[in-house]
Structure 1
Amino acid sequence: MDAIKKKMQAMKIEKDNALDRADAAEEKVRQITEKLERCEEELRDTQKKMTQTGDDLDKAQEDLSAATSKLEEKEKTVQEVYSFTSTKRYDQDVETHRTSTILYQGLFRKPLSPTVPFSSSVIFANFFPPKSNPIR
C-alpha cells in the first residue's frame, strides 16, 4: 500500500508539473499571438503609408509635368517675344540707316561709303562734317 501511495504521489507531482508546463505553453502562445497581432497591425499601417506615399508621388509627378509644360510654354513665349523684338530692333536700325543715308545724300549730294556701320553716332557724325578752320 505504501508503494501505491508513493506511485500516486509521484503521478500527482507529474500531473502538477504537466499542468505547469501546459500553463507556461499557453502563456507563451498568448504572448506570441499578441506579438503577431501587433506585427500585422504595423504591417497594415505601413501598407497604408506606402499607398499614401505612392499617391503623393503620383500627384507630385503630375504637378511636375504640368509645371514643366507651363515652363516650356513660357520659355517659348519669351523666345518668341525676344525674337520679335530683336527682329523689330534690327528692322528699325536698318530703316534708320536708310533714312539717314537718304538725308545725307540729299543734303550733301554724295553717297555714303558702304563701310559705314549702322551706328547712329557715326551716321549723325556724317551729317555734320567738321568745319574748316577759319583761322587759316
Structure 2
Amino acid sequence: MRIRTWRRVAATCGVVALVGPLAWWWTGGAAVVDTPEATVLVSERTGYGMEAAIPGVIEVVGGCLGVNGQVVVWPHGTDVVDDDPLTLDLPGHGQVSLGHEVMLGGGFVHEPPQDEPRDDLVVGGAPVPEPCTHHPVALTHDR
C-alpha cells in the first residue's frame, strides 16, 4: 500500500515539475526577473497591443530595464539569457544587451507627471516596482 502511495506522489511531482514551466508559457503569465543590474519586467501573453514605435537604447531606468529614460515591460517570450552583461533574448530581435539600439512596438500606460508614482501599478500582468513608476512605463509586444 505504501509503495503505491509513494509512486503516486512521485508521479504527481514529476508531472508538476514538467508541466509547471509549460503552464506558465501556455497561460501566458507575466514575469518579474531580478538581476544584479536591473529588474526585467516581461508581459503576459496578449492578443493585442498598441502600435506606437518605441525606439531607443537599452538602459537601466529607475532600477528597471528600459529604453531612453522609459521603463519597458518587455514582450511575452522575452528571456534573460545572461546577467553579466545583462542580455535578453527578445522576440523578433534575437539577443540584445545594455547599450543596444532597438525598435519596439507598443505604447505608454503610465506617464509621470500626469500619473503619480505608485506601489500597486501592474502593466501587462507584471507588477512594476515603485521606484520604476517615477518614469514613463511602456507596454511592448513582439509584432
Please say which structure displays the higher CA radius of gyration: 1
Q: TM-score if structure 1 supplies the norm length?
A: 0.28
Higher strand share: 2
The answer to which structure has the higher helix fraction is: 1
With normalisation by structure 2, the TM-score equals 0.27
